[in-house]
Amino acid sequence: MISWDKDFKIYNFKSKYGPWALVAGASEGLGAAYAEALAKRGLDLILIARRQEKLDELSKKLINEYSIAIKCLALDLSDIAHVIEVLSQIDLPIGLLIYNAAYAPIGDFDTIPSDDLAKVVDVNIKAPLLLAKFVSKKMIENKRGGIVLMSSLAGSQGSPKLVTYAASKAFNAILAEGLWSELKEHGVDVIASIAGAIVTPGYQQAQNAKKAPGTLTPDQVAEKTLKALGKKPTIIPGFTNKLARFFMGRLIPRKWAISIMKQNTESLS
């Protein structure tokens, strides 16, 4: 049976954010979940990640299930100048950017190599900043479009053993809030998804398969974020995570919040 309401929502989403969506960090986990959620909504996809085989595997699955067009680009997002050069050459009309890629070296600050610290800036800050600049130019001209930047609850306060990752995620949340205000007058929606723990391959490896309270699946985070796009500047997926953000950010002293984070991150490896 055809659902008029469902079909109308899909048409509405595609007309606002299509025809092409760019998903950066799309090979697996949350990026792959975003790709599938957008494929369900009928958008054609540009998928960026370093591993070609993972992109090809995901692309084949989505094309078979949703009959969409997909362009896979095996690129390193730490070299954002090259990424933008490639995107300029293929010249596809991008109506939605999902920036999901992140680099998160784990350990004490004094033990992390300087090159790894620089990569955090390149992947987590410089790349989303310049990609947002690149795609928003056409969006402003077209008076429509959307940008989703992934942040994290870790960025709500200092997070020992994740200090640079947490700081970069704070940057993305504030960037998205400012862009939400500036770009909405041009018809462009921006949102920061401030996620808690997500069951991704990287998270499971770091946590040794232990789940934190409020842990969500990639599909849950992707759907909740996309449904909030155009409604508000930030979304915290999951009720438990909303409570945690309120408690850590408003009810207790800052130094206590950092101490709690330290207890939660000590097991990371």
Question: What values do phi and psi take at 121, rounded to 5?
Answer: -65, -45
The Cα–Cα gap between 101 and 77 comes to: 8
165 is catalytic: yes
Q: Are 153 and 253 in contact (CB under 8 A)?
A: no
Closest CA to 188 of 197, 178, 198: 178
Cα separation of 31 and 165, whole Å?
18
User: Could you count the other beta carbons within 10 Å of the beta carbon of residue 52?
Assistant: 13
Contact 74, 49 (CB under 8 A): yes
Place of tokens 């010249």: 91
169 is catalytic: yes
- Alpha carbons 155 and 171: distance in angstroms, whole number: 8
Inter-axis angle of helices 218-228 and 29-40, to 10 degrees? Answer: 50
Return the structure tokens found at 199.
């069951």
Active-site residue, from 165, 184, 203, 211: 165
Q: Identity (one letter) of the amino acid at 212?
A: A
CA 131 to chain centre: 13
Choice among 14, 34, 169, 203 that is catalytic: 169
Cβ proximity of 202 and 29 under 8 Å? yes
DSSP, collapsed to helix, strand or coil, labels residue 151 as: strand
Q: What is the DSSP string of 125-143?
A: IIHHHHHHHHHHHHHHHHT
- Active-site amino acid positions: 165, 169
